[in-house]
Structure 1
Amino acid sequence: MNWKGHTLMNKYIFTLLISALGLRVFAQANISPAGPQDKKTVIMGAKLHIGNGQVIENGYLIFDKGKITGVGDATTVRFDFSGSTVINANGKQVYPGFIAPVTNLGLAEYESVKATLDFAEIGTFNPHIRSLVAYNTDSKVPATLRSNGVLMAQITPQGGTISGSSSVVQLDAWNWEDAALRKDDAQHLNWPVTPKPRPGFGSRAAVSEELLKERTQKILFELDQLFAEAKAYAETEKPAVINTRLAAMKHLFDGQQKLFISADAQKDITAAINFAKKYGITPVLVGGEEAYLMIPFLKENNISVVVKQPHALPNSVDDDVNLPYKNAGILANAGINVVVSIDGYWQQRNLPFMAGTVAAWGLDKEKALQTITLNTAKVLGIDKSTGSLENGKDATFFISAGDALDMKGNRVEQAFIQGRSINLDNLHKQLDKKFSAKYASEKK
Structure 2
Amino acid sequence: MSLPKLVANSWLLLLSLLLPLSALAQDVPTPAPPQSRPIILQGGIIHTGTGKVIQGDILIIGGKISDVGDIRTRVTDATTLDCTGKHLYPGLIAPTSQIGLDEIESVRGTDDRNEVGLVNPNVRTIIGYNTDSRVTPTLRSNGILLAQIAPGGQGFAGTSSVVQLDAWNWEDAAYLVDDALHLYWPHMVAYNASWMPPLEKQKKNIEKRLAQLDNTMQQAKAYLKTKNAGLLKKTDLRWEALIPVLNREKSLFIHANSERQINAALAFMLRHEIKMVLVGGADAWLLTGPLLANGVPVVLAKSHSLPTSEDDDIDMPYKRAGLLKKAGLLVCLSMRDFWNQRNLPFQAGTAAAYGLSKAEALQLVTLNTARILGIADRTGSIEPGKDANILVCKGDLLDMRTSLVEHAFIQGRKIDLGNKQKDLYKKYRGR
TM-score (norm 2): 0.92
Secondary structure of 2:287 counterpart? helix
The partner residue of 2:136 within 118, 137, 142 is 142
Relative to structure 1, the CA distance from residue 132 to residue 23 in structure 2 (aligned partners, 3 Å threshold; closer, same or farther) is: closer
Residue 38 of structure 1 aligns to which amino acid in structure 2?
S
Structure 2 residue ranges without an equivalent (≥5): 1-12
1:229 corresponds in structure 2 to 219
Aligned CA distance change for structure 1 residues 23 and 375 (closer, same or farther; 3 Å) = closer
Tell me the distance in 2 between the aligned counterparts of 1:290 and 1:186: 23
C-alpha spacing 1:59/1:435, structure 2 compared with 1 (3 Å): same
Matched residue of 1:369: which SS? helix
Q: Which residue of 1 aligns with 2:159?
A: 165
Tell me the residue number matched to 1:5: none
Q: Tell me which of 191, 197, 200 is aligned to 1:207.
A: 197
Q: Distance in 2 between matches of 1:104 and 1:191?
A: 18
Alpha-carbon offset, residue 25 of structure 1: 8.0
The amino acid across from 1:35 in the alignment is: P
Q: Secondary structure at the match of 1:164?
A: strand
Is 1:186 the counterpart of 2:170? The answer is no
What is the correspondence of 1:42-441 to structure 2 with a 5 Å cutoff?
A: 42-56=40-54, 58-72=55-69, 74=70, 80-197=74-191, 199-200=193-194, 207-235=197-225, 236-237=227-228, 238=230, 239-437=232-430, 439=431
Question: Is the 2:188–2:260 Cα contact (8 Å) retained in structure 1?
Answer: no
Which residue identity is paired with 1:49? H
**Change over 3 Å in CA distance of 1:95–1:159 after alignment to 2:** same
Structure 1 distance, partners of 2:409, 2:72, is 24
Contact 2:191 2:199 in 1 (8 A): yes
- Contact 2:28-2:137 at 8 Å conserved across structures: no
State the identity as a percent: 45
CA deviation string 1:222-274 (max 9, x = no partner):
21111122123234234222111101111112233211111112222111012
The equivalent residue for 2:4 is none
Q: Distance in 1 between matches of 2:370 and 2:396?
A: 21
Q: CA deviation at 1:403?
A: 0.5
Q: Provide the C-alpha distance between the structure 2 equivalents of 1:234 and 1:40, rounded to a whole number of angstroms.
A: 49
Is residue 28–residue 427 contact of structure 1 (8 Å, CA) maintained in 2?
no
The answer for the alignment partner of 2:29 in structure 1 is 31
User: Per-residue CA shift, 1:262-312, capped at 9, x if unaligned?
Assistant: 111222211101211222212001111111112111110111111111111
Tell me the alpha carbon deviations over residues 328-363 of structure 1, each in whole angstroms, 9 at most, x when there is no partner: 111012211111111321101110000000111111
The alignment partner of 1:219 has SS state of: helix
- Check whether the contact 2:256–2:262 (CA below 8 A) recurs between aligned residues: yes
- Cα distance in 2 for partners of 1:434, 1:156 equals 35
Task: Give the aligned partner of residue 3 of structure 1.
Answer: none
Q: SS of the counterpart of 2:146? A: strand
| Residues paired across the two proteins, number | 414
Quote how far apart the aligned CAs of 1:152 are.
0.4
**Per-residue deviation, residues 142-179 of structure 1 (Å, max 9, x unmatched):** 11111110000011111121111111000000000100
- Letter of the 1:196 counterpart: A
Structure 1 residues 362 and 199: alpha-carbon distance in aligned structure 2, compared to 1, 3 A threshold: closer
Tell me how far apart the structure 2 counterparts of residues 87 and 194 of structure 1 sit (CA, whole Å): 55
Change (3 A) 1:27 1:395: closer
**SS class of match (1:110):** coil
Distance (whole Å) between structure 2 residues aligned to residue 97 and residue 60 of structure 1: 17
2:10 — aligned with what? none
- Report the TM-score when normalising by structure 1: 0.89
Contact 2:154 2:186 (8 Å CA) reproduced: no
- The residue aligned with 2:5 is none
Contact 1:28 1:140 in 2 (8 A): no
Structure 1 unaligned blocks of 5 or more: 1-14, 440-444
CA distance in 2, matches of 1:276, 1:161: 15
Aligned partners of 1:32 and 1:316: how far apart in 2? Answer: 46
**TM-superposed deviation, 1:26:** 7.1
Q: Distance in 2 between matches of 1:254 and 1:387?
A: 27
The farther-off stretch of 139-148 and 109-118 is: 109-118
- Structure 1 residue 82: deviation in Å? 2.6
Distance 1:228 1:212 in 2: 25
